[in-house]
Chains A and B, each alone.
Chain A
Amino acid sequence: MQVRAQIAMVMNLDKCIGCHTCSVTCKNVWTNRRGTEYMWFNDVETKPGVGYPKQWENQERWKGGWELKGGKLRLKAGGRLRKFATLFFNPELPTLDDYYEPWTYDYETLTTAPTSKHQPVAQPESQVTGRPLDLQWGPNWEDDLAGAPEHARLDPNLRDGVEEQVRLEYEKAFMFYLPRICEHCLNPSCVASCPSGAMYKRVEDGIVLVDQEQCRSWRMCVSGCPYKKVYFNWSTGKAEKCTLCYPRIEAGQPTICSETCVGKIRYLGVVLYDADRVQEAASVADEKDLLPAQLSLFLDPDDPEVREQARRDGIAEDWLDAARRSPVYALAVKHRVALPLHPEYRTLPMVWYVPPLSPVMSLVEGPGSEADPDDVFPAIDELRIPIEYLANMLTAGDPEPVRVSLRRLAAMRGWTREKNLGVDPDPALAAAVGMEPREIDAMFRLLAVAKYDERYVIPQTHGEIGLSPYARQGACGLDFEGGPGSCGALEKAKDPFGAEPLAAPGDGRGGGSNVAFLDFRKAT
């Protein structure tokens, strides 16, 4: 057992209102620069829909993530040989049309137009060519089922019989929002795809980053990531991606998307896992076993043995304390209501989702139904959002974990409603979903009333490990060429107290790599 700590996220889809505040604050902080116009490290998609970039979930087309071949894990896009063969032409790279052609407007005309017959108007123009643009697609073109009758059928989750169940008709309409960032996977295929070793997963917190100095523009990470959350900056010629706002995380603050989330749907916390078994978990034969396999990697922070080993593996005491208070561990492991996004990609993603329940309850809120488990739960299988649709997204098609999650959420609602009405809830309701009353109460607190410091339990990064703070004086950490920091070129300073000069994290000096399949040179 080798204990590692990961900062992970849970998003409660039951509470997302699709306001896109996360997208805008992320955009303003990270990708409002030349070369990043089309990038949205955080985007929010309406489901069912094809998403951004179009059909990113269709791995038959993009070949992202991993697959099992002959019982062995390999990149879906192929191993070293195919990488070399496609080094100069990568057929699985999304084009600008798959994202969208970023545009702006001729705003200037509104203040400079001369007297004219018609009211002046700012026309859209391409940020790429500068020419007038006939808008045909955008990063959120499908908001609230916009154009769904034309596009939503192409949602890759409508497969394996679900497409038969889903009718795109007014009376049967359903939708929910899916906010997405980088998954900061335990087994990141972007990292493994990089021919230059420029991508790395940080040992101390599991954040996946691109070393802007090492990146050689091959773009294999872009195609290798099945979530399409690595982007190519056309201006700098480097890959860029969601950083999990690491400068904030290091200071114990939530990511900007979490900080500004209006619906308070996001949770951030530490999850301890066994790094020795990552490859094994990603390699289970049946895709439906990937969720239990990933859950089995997560270590119980209350287990003295785990804590002892964690200390031996260099995890600080305050991180162990944070792991015990982790809302992510509670929702994913203890309560089993959070589920991973597309575990079948075998990257072991670390942004998990509580499935949406809202449209169900309107169907089952008959008189007395919330007190009677027999009335609440059968309706779970008659949701407007078919369970199988959610299963195709969250559990590699296995409806059972989704059902467990939704039943627990339904029971929690009935339970809490009884309490609010001054009635003692029937313990049978808790028992029916395999929970103790106090567990339901704890889950309710976390999902409904938890304050800032309960939703974000983020231990600060220890200054004594990794980089010398002294050597970083005057640097801002984000000031690579074309980066959002713009503090000027970073001079690598010599620490007068004798520490090594700045090490690029992931070059081995930061304590070794956390990734089972570090790069394609090692992958078979």
Chain B
Amino acid sequence: MSAQEKVRPISGWSTLAFALDWNRPPRQQATSPFWFLASDQFRFQRTRADVYSTPLGNGALRGMHVADCNALAARLGWMPSYPTFDRNPLDLTREAAEAGMEAPAYVVERLKAQELRFAAEDPDAPENFPRVLTLWRANLLGSSSKGHEYFLRHVLGVEDAAVRNVEAEPDQRPTDVVWHDEAPTGKFDLFTTIDFRMNGSALYSDVVLPAATWYEKYDLSSTDLHPFVHSFNQAVPPPWEAKTDFDIFGRVAERFSELAVEHLGTRTDLVAAPLLHDTPDELAQPFGEVRDWKRGECEPVPGKTMPKLVPVERDYTAVYRKWRALGPLAEQLGSSAKGIPLKPTVEIDQLRAANGEIDGRPALTRDVHMCEAILALSGVTNGRLAVEGFKGLEQRTGTRLADIAEEHADVRITFGDTQVQPRKVLASPEWSGMESRERRYNPFTINVERNVPFRTLTGRQQLYVEHAWMLEYGEALPTYRPPLNVLGVVGTQLSGEEGRKELHVRWLSPHNKWSIHSEFQDNLHMLTLFRGGPVVWLSDVDAREIEIADNDWCEVFNRNGVIVARAVVSHRIPPGIGLMYHSQDRHVNVPLSEITETRGGTDNSVTRISLKPTHLIGGYAQLSYGFNYYGPTGTQRDEMVAVRKLLGKPVY
């Protein structure tokens, strides 16, 4: 299932994508804090979390480093944080069993005794490194790695990395999070990329699994830009060794299960799950008060003052068997659409009929089976489920709602239907729109027109957020924040070399005209239809000042790294701005930098993840973590760079 911003058949998709039909809860992680630690960017954070506090604040963030805030968020169950502990959860459950204790109680006891720590409190300890990454449908390095050069150095250990930054001084360092004198490099053991392009990520991978393109496989697609569900269909088979995503994961699962017979068998895992949006967890830490059990401000109670601790039995030898069939939790627990349960009943037998049976369950042995199941288990493509979901919501709200979906109660969109033509999705409690045959989707119309409470603390559209950290930042109400005074904090970014004409500009990286993120950016037509490689737009006023002419090679640099690109000089750009359309990967027409004598970087080589502490708040009403819904952003764009002309001929 591919989606641009919005997976409309979300219930069915998440059931299958996260194997909720077999095991719950899944481990899902917010990426910004993950990479902030994993790529050691936190070591270069030289401002404290309280630097943006209001003088009228409550001191809630006083003296804290942003990594300390993140450790607190992990500890209090605000944000997911994996790896969670500084010990393997499989070992923890074994130890608990040996001690004759329930695993959660055992973990709480160890934490209180300070014999067990959260990995987020010591991310540079080797036992806490993330070791294995499988990249699928993402170009991490060429596109989304904010602080690209830190990734190269600390995650991959690449010699070419062009980080020029200095780490935080002793008085700027975290107090709660452990500081290691030497920053680790090359944390990964195995980096696998599944892609159909030899892009920036694939180039650095240990293993590249060539993937089928859209016209070589069967799949589903949806977007927030229109209300239809589309199919992908195989026009030609995947060439050479390329395989569909479905086949790749299936084959890996098969071999993994074979190896698990000897290596893992059946074990009990312990998942530390954050306090989740649209669940009673939202009321876990009321009144916007921050109480840290580690400081003795409260007791560590899983699911209340710290993450939920859920033992999960995992039969690792059965991963492939489970991969091939729809699991029983699909109907036993159903799926949850914003807290509203959607429980398939007749759909299970319908899937048995459509897909065939395996081990007594509906088969998922082919990609089209997966598509069929997604559509059957989602309210937007299954009118019966939508009506049932609204009935559930009726019980909770006491207002009539099922009529919203009744006009299409009998509609069941199958994969075959989507192959005939794109199918318009149905109104469903999975989303908030009153769409119908007469009306297009519009968010929150169910809330506004049917008085269904908004998913906030007050049930209304809510602007005021009375959380200690929001009050500390003076942001309990929406407010204007001017751009960060980057140069005031980090000092000049100019090289200081004698006689060089250089200029500071504010760094912008809007969406690209010539690619979808990094996709197609290396396509010959796309490259031919502009300048044939990476470019940075500069104002003619700025360019004149530093004697850069249109199409000159230039270096864009700061403490984070260096970009080498052609200048596009235009009066369309206001002075003071350097604009590079984002995701210009570094594998096409990028020469070496004269400053670092390494390969010029991507648009993210000069950026760095800058976590905003208030984004980490969790366990408090609408400020509760939801996968791909609520969590911290990378806020990498508030950045300043220096620009200068490349003096010599470009060297590749």
Contact = CB atoms under 8 A, between A and B. Distances in A.
Contacts of B88: none
B527 interface: yes
A175 interface: yes
Nearest to A103: B532
Contacts of B531: 135, 138, 141, 146
B409 interface: no
Contacts of A295: none
Interface string B101-121: 000000000000000000000
A137 to B, nearest CB: 9
Contacts of A128: none
Interface stretch (A20-28, A276-284, A443-451, A504-512): A20-28
B652 A23 contact: no
Contact of B590 (A102, A121, A148, A151): A121
Interface stretch (B183-191, B328-336, B461-469, B563-571): B563-571
B397 interface: no
Nearest to A151: B550
B652 A121 contact: yes
Contacts of B200: 119
A103 B589 CA distance: 12
A135 B533 contact: yes
A121 B599 contact: yes
B529 interface: yes
Interface stretch (A165-173, A258-266, A471-479, A482-490): A165-173
Contacts of B598: 118
Nearest to B550: A147
Contacts of A129: none
A503 interface: no
Contact of B198 (A19, A110, A173): A110
Given A110-B203, A124-B532, A170-B539, A145 B571 contact: yes
Contact of A120 (B203, B527, B575): B203
A110 B529 CA distance: 22
Contacts of B574: 170
Given A24-B529, A117-B159, A146 B568 contact: yes
A52 to B, nearest CB: 11
A90 interface: no
Contacts of A130: none
Among the interface residues B529, B586, B590, B591, which one has the most CB atoms of the partner chain A within 10 A? Answer: B529
B524 A105 contact: yes
Contacts of B586: 119, 121
A363 interface: no
Contacts of B652: 121, 123
B203 A149 contact: no
Contacts of B575: 170
Nearest to B199: A110
B529 A140 contact: yes
Interface string A63-106: 00000000000000000000000000000000000000011110
B588 interface: yes
Contacts of B589: 105, 121-124, 135
A173 B571 contact: yes
A118 B599 contact: yes
B570 A145 contact: yes
Contacts of A173: 571-572
Interface in B536-570: 537, 539-541, 549-551, 566, 568-570
A60 interface: no
B139 to A, nearest CB: 14
A144 B571 contact: no
Contacts, number: 121
B571 A110 contact: no
A147 B551 contact: yes
Given A110-B198, A120-B587, A168-B571, A139 B540 contact: no
A111 to B, nearest CB: 5
A145 B588 contact: no
A136 interface: yes
Question: Which secondary structure dominates chain B's binding surface?
Answer: loop
Contacts of B525: 24, 27-28
Interface in A154-190: 168-170, 173, 175
A464 interface: no
A124 B590 CA distance: 10
B530 A121 contact: no
A149 B550 CA distance: 9
Contacts of A120: 203, 587
Contact of B572 (A140, A141, A175): A175
Nearest to A19: B513
A118 B587 CA distance: 11
A150 interface: yes
B526 to A, nearest CB: 8
A99 to B, nearest CB: 12
B573 interface: yes
Contacts of B587: 110, 119-122
A170 B571 contact: yes
B178 interface: no
Nearest to B586: A119
B318 interface: no
A249 to B, nearest CB: 24
A103 B528 CA distance: 8
A136 B591 CA distance: 16
Contacts of B204: 119
Contacts of A145: 570-572
B550 A143 contact: no
Nearest to B202: A110
Given A120-B587, A121-B589, A147 B527 contact: no
Given A147-B569, A149-B570, A117 B160 contact: yes
Contacts of B527: 105
Interface in A5-22: 19-20
Contacts of A111: 198
A208 B303 CA distance: 75
A23 B526 CA distance: 10
Interface string B573-584: 111000000000
B522 interface: yes
Given A149-B569, A169-B571, A102 B528 contact: yes
A102 B159 CA distance: 35
A150 B548 CA distance: 12
Interface string A298-317: 00000000000000000000
Contacts of B590: 121
B592 interface: yes
Nearest to A32: B525
A144 B529 CA distance: 12
Interface string B499-541: 0000000000000010000000010110111111101010111
Nearest to B204: A119
Nearest to A18: B513
Given A122-B589, A138-B529, A145-B571, 15 more contacts: A27-B525, A105-B522, A117-B159, A118-B160, A118-B592, A119-B204, A120-B203, A121-B590, A122-B587, A124-B589, A135-B551, A143-B529, A146-B537, A146-B550, A149-B550
10 contacts: A111-B198, A119-B599, A121-B589, A121-B652, A123-B589, A141-B530, A144-B513, A145-B571, A169-B571, A170-B541
Interface of B: 158-160, 198, 200, 203-204, 513, 522, 524-525, 527-533, 535, 537, 539-541, 549-551, 566, 568-575, 586-592, 598-599, 652
Interface of A: 19-20, 23-24, 27-28, 102-105, 107, 110-111, 117-124, 135-136, 138-141, 143-151, 168-170, 173, 175
**What are the 7 closest A-B residue pairs judged by CB atoms, nearest first?**
A147-B550, A149-B540, A110-B198, A145-B572, A135-B532, A146-B568, A140-B529
